[in-house]
Amino acid sequence: MSILQAIRTFLFYLLLGTSSLLWCSLSFFIAPFLPFKARYRFINVYWCRCALWLSKVFLGIHYEVKGAENVPDRPCVIQSNHQSTWETFFLSAYFEPLSQVLKRELLYVPFFGWAMAMLRPIAIDRDNPKAALKHVAKKGDELLKDNVWVLIFPEGTRVPYGTIGKFSRGGTALAVNAELPVLPIAHNAGKFWPKTGWAKKQGVITVIIGAPMYAEGSGPRAIADLNDRVQAWNEQMQREMGSLPPAPQASASNDQLAV
């Protein structure tokens, strides 16, 4: 990373941290008196848009959205691959109101966590997977009934650019049980905003929003099938963006073998 880029990155984080502290502090005095949708917009949408603007001005990170016409009128379950912090900013600002699964410990972080607690997050204990899964199902269903988007990163954590993790079935199970579709999203944010380190690269992040995917039937088999289709779509989109290597070629046919 060049000296100039290092300076720009330092200024970005300085302004991002300062804006977060000031905005979360201000939220304590205003947000509790607002209805949920207005509260979400005040706390999350405005600040996330600020974060995206700072990343554009100081880091040179722009973005393009393909498939915006695929977003349904009614909120449903969003499933996206997870490579960086950038997509959290983007998705939180693009879909509103939105709730996402996060570690319960984050709510204890001064200012930031306290503000997040007012946004109806699905806070889980990752040390207790069974209880966490039940909580996601229960709280997620309540949010969907209240017309709140539910964001699930099925890989469970951020994965390095150029790889993809196994998709868990929690999000598709939530969608199937609520009789709602999954809205699949793929992106290449990790190419410019890596999972680890402070260094960032200038460029244009591509975000692809796919057509809503519905389960064919109900029960465990329908959940597994939908999950497989969502992951297959995401892999295909990432291959088309160049985020993943091309799919392995089929082995030579029998007629090519020596007689």
Domain presence at residue 89 = yes
Domain presence at residue 253 = no
Q: What's the pLDDT band for 251 if we cut at 50, 70, 90?
A: very low
Domain presence at residue 10 = yes
Q: For 115-137, write each residue's pLDDT tens digit.
A: 888 899 998 887 788 888 888 89
Return mean pLDDT, the chain.
90
Domain presence at residue 254 = no
Give the separation between CA 138 and CA 122, rounded to whole angstroms.
10
Sequence-distant (6+) residues with CB within 8 A of 97 are 36, 37, 40, 41, 119, 120, 148, 149
pTM strictly above 0.85: yes
Q: Which pLDDT does position 201 carry in this prediction?
A: 92
Q: For 94-116, write each residue's pLDDT tens digit.
A: 999 999 988 888 888 877 787 88
Domain presence at residue 252 = no
Domain presence at residue 259 = no
Could you give the 3-state DSSP secondary structure of residue 258? coil
Q: For 161-181, write each residue's pLDDT tens digit.
A: 999 999 999 999 999 999 999
Q: Residue 101 is encoded by which pair of tokens? A: 């699964």
Domain of residue 205, residue span: 3-244
Q: Residue 177 is encoded by which pair of tokens? A: 């049980």
Domain presence at residue 257 = no
Number of domains into which the chain is organized: 1
What CATH number should be reported for the domain holding residue 79? 3.40.1130
Give the separation between CA 87 and CA 106, rounded to whole angstroms.
18
Q: Which pLDDT does position 222 carry in this prediction?
A: 95
Give the separation between CA 253 and CA 99, rounded to whole angstroms.
49
**Mean pLDDT calculated for residue range 199-203:** 92
Domain presence at residue 96 = yes
